[in-house]
Amino acid sequence: MRVYARGAHWYADIRGVAGVERTRRAVGAVSEFTQEQATVEAYKLAAALQPVADAVAAGSVTFHTALLVWLRLKTRGRTDKSVVRVICEEWPDCPLEKVTNAQMAVRLGDLEDGTYDRYLSVINAALNAVDWPKRLTKRNTPRGSAPRYLSAEEWARLKPALPAHLLPAVEFALATGLRRANVFGLEWPNVNIDNRTVTVWAQRAKGKRTLHLPLSDWAIAVLQGQVGKHELVVFPYSRTTSRGTTHKAMIDPKTAWGAALATAGINDFRWHDLRHTWATWSVQAGMPLKVLQELGGWATLDMVLVYAHAAPSVLQGWANAVSDPSKGHKLGDEGHKGAHDPLKAA
């Protein structure tokens, strides 16, 4: 085994591991190890990789093993490791022939398009790392297509189909536009019913900036109904068995959510589409796109332009903002008449 220094790190060429002729792997910093010590670390690494290599050689590689091979082929960053961790949590280990587009849609279909594509690229790289011939393909979401959202009639069917423990979380998502992780991860110290605000801290926000969001009457009513159910978690899941009742935070209620959608006869709808529904309903009610951007926590205005189609009548109201001054009109005589609560009807 060859161990050598390149820049500030020691590297080792480990041969015959993971189905490849040579695997180059960093084994330590030059400032921390002598070459002899780095060689010892390299042999430890080779020993850890060997079970994976044996599985590759035997043709018995599973999905999680392929992900592990990909992780160990080179030094990976924190983001890559986090992606693999989430994939393994959401997608139980299985034979590679069961890693299909259909299963990808079931296990990770709630992800936004950009995140979905990133996870997809990691999965395909893992399949390539173990010489699996098939690849997953990007889902067919045309660029510029309108986001999927609930109509009033669909919501009227879905609401009674939801189980009691899930309905408040769905209503809160529709009332606030918060992402799934922020709804299920919401804790009472971050809620102020008196001031009608909720705080999403930067470390839990997708845009990595803290959000202090005002709450609508609908959102406040949902929160008041949750008071006393759990000392910390706003939307807990309660389970009663012969040993008693336990309460815990919901993470991703795929079974209950999928069953409710099926009962309501709603197809092609993800949990994340509740956020699209909130945004669409808000724009339909007259909310300016800039306000929508701030309330939704989007980084740029471009990211909310996909909802502009939802309010042609609102945009028409602004068309008369400029009139011919020579005819005695003041600017904005027939302009915008003011927005109303988009969720009041709900």
Tokens of 111: 């992800």
| pLDDT tens digits along 298-344 | 888 888 888 877 766 656 666 666 666 766 655 544 444 433 444 44
In three-state secondary structure terms, 295 is helix
> Residue holding tokens 């008693």?
244
- Give the whole-angstrom CA distance, residue 292 versus residue 283: 8
> Which letter does DSSP use for residue 332 in this model?
T
pLDDT at residue 338, as a whole number: 39
Calculate helix-pair angle for 63-72, 35-58, nearest 10 degrees: 150
Tokens of 123: 């999965």
Which range in 109-113, 140-144, 267-271 is most confidently predicted, on average pLDDT?
267-271
Instruction: Kindly tell me the sign of the dihedral angle through the C-alpha atoms of 224, 226, 228, 234.
Output: negative
Shortest CA distance to 67 belongs to which of 53, 84, 80, 82?
Answer: 84
| pLDDT tens digits along 83-102 | 898 898 888 899 889 999 88
pLDDT at residue 240, as a whole number: 65
| pLDDT tens digits along 208-264 | 788 899 999 999 999 999 999 888 899 988 776 667 666 677 766 878 998 999 999
pTM for the model? 0.60
- Give the whole-angstrom CA distance, residue 104 versus residue 32: 42
Q: Are 183 and 173 in contact (CB under 8 A)?
A: yes
pLDDT at residue 32, as a whole number: 85
**Cross-strand partners of 12:** 3, 25
